[in-house]
Structure 1
Amino acid sequence: MILVIDAINKEKFGGVLDEMFRLRARVFGDRLGWQVNVANGMERDLFDDLDPAYAVGLDDQGEVVSCVRALQTTGPHMLADVFSDILDGEPPLRSATLWESTRFCVDTKRLGRGRDRNSVSYATCELMIASLEAAKQAGVTDIVTVIDPVMDRVLKRSGNAPYDYVGKQADMGKVPALAALLDCTDERIERIREFGGIEEDVFISDEAALALPAIKALSEQPNEPQDDLAKYCKEQIAMASTDEERAAALALQDALGTIIRSRPNCDA
């Protein structure tokens, strides 16, 4: 089940977003060893402060098992501002009908092998389908995504092969990276559905998601002081109107993460 979280409904699903950021920390920080910012056990970057849309995969209990982020390319995005070496001197891609897909990950520890609903394969296909269908519904025609060669092979195996690439392959940390282009077409979606054996609607409504046991438990947890401070930091980052204000808000957020990690029994 895929829950779409954006600026409109994010206040309902703060706990789910925190679990998503924790999954990203385990995948990109721990497993893949990327140079990412992890604070209080959660991986976030400056693009998460721009109110992107997230597709979050949930199991039957409401536990987070996968996620991906969508950014508009008309503003700041990773290919333009982080992975610009891939562009090899070409100007950044900018279009209202082109979205950037980043931070695609699946919880390989919680999910098993095979092809059933609780498998890595199913969760991967479900997330791909949701990304394409949500983009298509929003009037987006194409997606650009920065991937490594392993993910490139996953896309090709699942019927989601890129139709083209942008720029060149470039070294980004431990692995090379390339920018792939995907068209948001019914034909592409159908190929992934056929590969994954997925015929049903992959989305879950806000109301149904809020009724799931794990999400209900998250919403019933009382806010601790550091939760309120973290929320304040996010608000200050979002409200910053100058580079100086944004830098000060980010510094406060980092300082809060350092304080929390220094406490015993914290999730660092």
Structure 2
Amino acid sequence: MLSQPWSRQSLDVSGHRFDDLRRWDASLQLGFVARDGVTRMRDMRHHGPLRVQRPFYPEGPNGSCHVYLLHPPGGLVSGDALRIEARVESGGRTLLTTPAANKLYRADRNGVAWQQDTLLQVDDDGLLEWLPQETIAFDGSRGCQRTRIELSGSARCLGWELLALGRPASQLPFVSGRLEQHFTIVRDGMPLWIERQPLDPTHRRFRGSWGQRGHGVQATLWAVGLEDGQAAVEWLRERLEAHQCWAVTWRHDVLLLRYLGDSRGDAWQLLEEAWHLLRPKLAQQPACIPRIWRT
């Protein structure tokens, strides 16, 4: 039963709401299993506008299974609720990416938020790479992103999130709205990294030197399962010294590389180069760029 009165005008013919209770759900569940040295997509369930293309094997049959996540609307609007779940079973090797940038559109006149939840599970001796293309938040967007990674045994994971606030090239900076990001990584139920980040351009943290400093682009890369994380940190500092506006640390088996600046291109180049350096240490194979990135 609805919690408040509604009018016939608040629903379209399909039953979707257009008032402040609107909610449009979409979900995708993927499962990957290793058989005879080949990782196959065994499970694929979806609801709403979330799909995948067929698996690709650009690294050969014994390499990672590359899968592209498709969201035909191309972005999130008020009331959207996306949930993505992926599980890599023991011995599997999977790379997940997207064909284009994800857009977070301006909230509607009721200020209804969107939400996106991602759950990634990797079993013992599995490897998952989570490499979506950038997310662009339009001015006035309101929503929450939650990413949770559950590792078991000797599971390994590398991933990133690149967020651009506003569209300065169109003279449309991010001056209103509110975003919230949550990241959690656990291994065998024990937390390794828990982080919550609110992004509100009207809050003093957004402009303060102890916060966002007014910058419009931020990125985080994480890698879990490196044999020598501190050596990897020194390796990155040496090889990426030409880049600016970034830092890298290692703690509790989690390597974190951060970027805070104003260039999506610089942030993406930094992430991609770091991935090229770290990938052989995690996967014992060089990085193989998904061809969708070059189209």
Using the size of structure 2 for normalisation, the TM-score is 0.26
Larger gyration radius, structure 1 or structure 2: 2
Using the size of structure 1 for normalisation, the TM-score is 0.28
Name which structure has the greater RCO, CA cutoff 8 Å, separation 6+: 1
User: Hey, which of these two has a bigger chunk of helix by percent?
Assistant: 1
